[in-house]
Structure 1
């Protein structure tokens, strides 16, 4: 697996109890690791939703959150947010309006990992990394839900995250 980083393994309270390679975590179907996700939202309330590139190991060519990534061993969620924003969207955290939408736990929220989900206010399309994404769309949450219900392929947590944070 490309980018076979070392990730922290955490207990049910999100406390570090060990480390494993990313590939081992996915091969073993584990959920006790950390990720960050962020939605870019414009002033019209539309979400910037990218499509993952065909080279992605998991969920190739699927719709995704605006930015997502693993929290590497020794990083905080905020460290990972800053790193992933730079890598995927060429954005600097300190230059953005960012807020924490929520903290989700796999066994409580039926998501794929322990995660913090953020929102970034931005009215322009990010200059995304073309190794990560191949196209993108500005969609209001209801439009995105319709696309997903019609069978548009998407990363596993996308529907749940939009429902939790944007469908009232």
Structure 2
């Protein structure tokens, strides 16, 4: 099945389902839908960072601080977070990602989606999905911060990362 044919829930400003449509139509018409962002770290606490493949429908060839993707029609955020993390990291048996918070992302081009942010620790080796991930590495927090101004980042992931930094327990800055 072509990814554009995957059916998604269309939601309103309060994240209530108001319809369903194929992904291609959702993107073409700028319909609000649901996505998950999973902050994946290794056993040493380094962050999984990757560059998206040039064939991605949204933000091709850009760098991302999260694994994740769209929530399928009728799928819960929690189930989508686990599915997407295992798919993109190329692993099975991950612990269920921990839900952190949700926000409405609104992009410059009229794009809008509810974004649920999670985190998970991936202690074993990864084998990222070649259709999704062109390059990857586990980077320290300092390495990530240095590259924020050097690399082209997906805008929704960057928005989620900024919110995550403000959300972190013990962060009073």
Q: Is this a same-fold pair by TM over 0.5?
A: yes
- Cα distance, 1:99 vs. partner? 1.4
- The answer to whether the 8 Å contact 1:48/1:125 transfers is no
Q: Distance in 1 between matches of 2:67 and 2:159?
A: 15
Across the aligned residues of Structure 1 and Structure 2, the Cα RMSD in angstroms comes to 2.4
- The answer to whether the 8 Å contact 2:40/2:119 transfers is yes
| Alpha-carbon distance change, 8 to 77 in structure 1, aligned in 2, over 3 angstroms | same
Q: 2:103 is matched with which residue? A: 104
- Which blocks of at least 5 consecutive residues in structure 2 are unaligned? none
- Cα distance, 1:43 vs. partner? 4.3
- The answer to whether the 8 Å contact 1:85/1:92 transfers is no
Q: 2:162 is matched with which residue? A: 163
Q: 1:23 is matched with which residue? A: 24
How many residues align? The count is 162
- What TM-score do you get using the length of structure 1 for normalisation? 0.82
- The answer to whether the 8 Å contact 2:37/2:66 transfers is yes
- Which blocks of at least 5 consecutive residues in structure 1 are unaligned? none
Q: 2:114 is matched with which residue? A: 114
Equivalent position SS for 2:148: helix
| Alpha-carbon distance change, 148 to 2 in structure 1, aligned in 2, over 3 angstroms | farther
- What TM-score do you get using the length of structure 2 for normalisation? 0.80
| Alpha-carbon distance change, 128 to 53 in structure 1, aligned in 2, over 3 angstroms | same
Q: What does 1:11-50 correspond to in 2, within 5 Å?
A: 11-30=12-31, 32-50=32-50
Q: Distance in 2 between matches of 1:112 and 1:12?
A: 9
Q: Distance in 1 between matches of 2:22 and 2:96?
A: 33
Equivalent position SS for 1:144: helix
- Cα distance, 1:125 vs. partner? 4.3
- Cα distance, 1:27 vs. partner? 1.5
Deviates more, 1:83-92 or 1:156-165: 83-92
Q: Distance in 2 between matches of 1:89 and 1:44?
A: 16
- The answer to whether the 8 Å contact 2:37/2:157 transfers is no
